[in-house]
Amino acid sequence: MALDDLYRELILDHYSHPRNRGEIPEPDIKVEGANPLCGDELSIYVKLTGTTISDVRFVGRGCSISQASASMMTEQIKGKTLEEARALSGRFKAMMHGEAVPEDELGDLMALQGVRKFPVRVKCATLSWVAVEQGMEEFEAGKGKVAAKATTERE
Ligand code: FES
């Protein structure tokens, strides 16, 4: 199977069977993300144990790219510290903006690199990441429970 087909299947699989979908009661971080270009929105819930992300879930509506990326995001950051998750988010966004990033640092997220050919869709792929980054930043700034909002304009 060609790599492009494999990546397409991976995106479709995350879209049709999203991982970690749902809400978390009493999250440490709740953030609502929106893409003003299309009106799509999602909410992300993060539970922390110390500074480690012990659980992360999302709900929302949007195109296949945004939903698949959110699903992959939850899988990738669960178990990471806030600092590690922010570093990964930076690498993912760099990759989506055309920078070369080692493949082994991104895993399944490499499947989204094809989206770079369609600049308007890059914000679909980064929606959940800019949102969770905003929530993590606000949490770290205030060191308390956070209800944040973010849009892809933050990118
Ligand atoms: Fe709205 Fe992709 S078209 S997030």
- Mutating to test ligand 1, I would choose from 61, 65, 153 the residue with most ligand atoms within 8 A of its C-beta, which is 65
What is the Cα–Cα distance from 80 to 58, expressed in whole angstroms? 17
What is the Cα–Cα distance from 28 to 113, expressed in whole angstroms? 31
Ligand 1: which atom is nearest the Cα of residue 65? Answer: 2
Architecture of domain 3-150: Alpha-Beta Complex (3.90)
What is the Cα–Cα distance from 48 to 29, expressed in whole angstroms? 8
Identity of residue 133: E
Which residue ranges make up each domain of the chain?
3-150
Torsion angle of the four alpha carbons 31, 25, 27, 105, in this order, in degrees rounded to the nearest 10:
-80
Structure tokens at 87: 């570093």
- Which pLDDT value is given to residue 23? 98
The predicted-structure confidence for 104-133, as pLDDT tens digits, reads as follows 889 899 999 999 999 999 999 999 999 999
CA of 83 to the centre of ligand 1 (A): 27
- Mutating to test ligand 1, I would choose from 11, 32, 35, 129 the residue with most ligand atoms within 8 A of its C-beta, which is 35
How far is residue 131 CA from its own chain's centroid? 7
For the whole prediction, is pTM greater than 0.75?
A: yes
The predicted-structure confidence for 37-55, as pLDDT tens digits, reads as follows 999 999 999 999 999 999 9
CA of 99 to the centre of ligand 1 (A): 22
Identity of residue 56: V
